[in-house]
Each structure stands twice: as C-alpha cells, then as structure tokens.
Amino acid sequence: MQLFQINFGKYAKNKRCLKIKVNFDAICFIFILKHCVWVMFFSEQDQLYKIPDPVEKNRRQGENGRNLMVVLYDDGPEARSFIEKVLSAAQVDLQRDTAFFTLPPGEPMALQAALKSVNAETVLLFGPSADQLGLGINTRLYAPFEWQSRRWLFAEAPALLEPDRTRKGLLWKALQQMFL
C-alpha cells in the first residue's frame, strides 16, 4: 500500500484542482479532510479483508424456536453430532430450538447481521473467539455472560472438547447454568 498526502494549504488559490499520476495498477481510496486530501493506493499484492455475506443465508439451519443462535467453527459431521448430543442433554433441540450456523475454521462471519436476522436472545459459539468475530470484548471460555441484551457462551471447537473430559465438564456446567 502507498499513501499520499496532498496538502492544499491555507492560501492555495484553486482548492478544487487536484492531479495525481500513478505509475502502477491499483485500487484507490480518497479521503478529504479539511484542507488535506489523503489518497491510499492498494496493489494486487496487498491483502484486503473480504466482507462476508451479511446474512449468512446459505449457512443457516434450524427453526430457531427458542431464539437461540449456535455458531460452530468445524464443518465435520462428527462435530455437529457432538453438539447435538451435548445440547440435547441441556434440553435444547438443535434443529427445532436454534438457528445453527456451521463454518469452516477461520472463515469470517458477519455475526452482527446474522444476530439481527435470527433475533437471537442467546448465543453459543463453538470454536471462534470474540476477536475473530470482531466483537472487541474480553471473554473467558465456558463462562456465560450478558452483553448487548443477550446471553453469550464461548467454548472451544468440538475437536478439542470431545476427547477432553475436563473441557466437557466445564461446558456442561455452563450449559446447566444457562438452560437448566
């Protein structure tokens, strides 16, 4: 990325005239602030963040009977089966009670847009951290909390949960606190 600042100055005669010559192919963003224009050029080698589908329609499953959103960052069938068993023990039916999203690990999600589309009152996240979702909050695993008028629970991905008895116990205590 290259950044250019063009300062018109306080006494510039023609503040509307601006010429920029660029010797390479680029994506350009122009910002105008007071007497100054900032121009940012991005080349093909620069990494820009891809904005994901805002509603995540193609990934949503479930009827959402209890306004409960479940996000699972693990796209294997074993992971879904494990989450179904754990939630059913807490008297939550994955298909009937939740809006369920499955994403490959590391893939971005427009969480705020998805929350609005499903009217979630409770959010269970298996795998992603608050930082990965761009929430800007500090969280602890297996510790339910309230934020933005919703109940939240962050847990590790099923691949880490299933073989570990201690982690499963922490998850079970958190789910009991939330649902039983």
Q: What average pLDDT does the chain have?
A: 78
The pLDDT assigned to 131 comes to 82
Q: How many residues in total does the chain contain? A: 180
Which of 66-70, 128-132, 139-143 bottoms out in mean pLDDT, i.e. has the lowest?
Answer: 128-132
Task: Spell out the domains of the chain, with CATH numbers in brackets.
Answer: 2-42 (no CATH), 57-179 (3.40.470.10)
The pLDDT assigned to 48 comes to 53
The pLDDT assigned to 40 comes to 61
The pLDDT assigned to 41 comes to 58
Separation of alpha carbons 178 and 171, rounded Å:
11
DSSP-derived pairing of the beta strands 2-7 and 145-147: unpaired
The pTM assigned to this predicted structure is: 0.69
The pLDDT assigned to 36 comes to 57
> What single-letter DSSP state applies at residue 105?
T
* Beta carbons within 10 angstroms of residue 152's beta carbon: 21
Residue for token digits 């479930």? 62
Sheet holding 98-103, edge to edge: 60-61, 98-103, 68-73, 122-126, 150-155, 145-147
| H or E segment and range at residue 174 | helix 165-179
**Mean pLDDT of all residues in 21-49:** 55
Does the pLDDT at position 101 exceed 50? yes
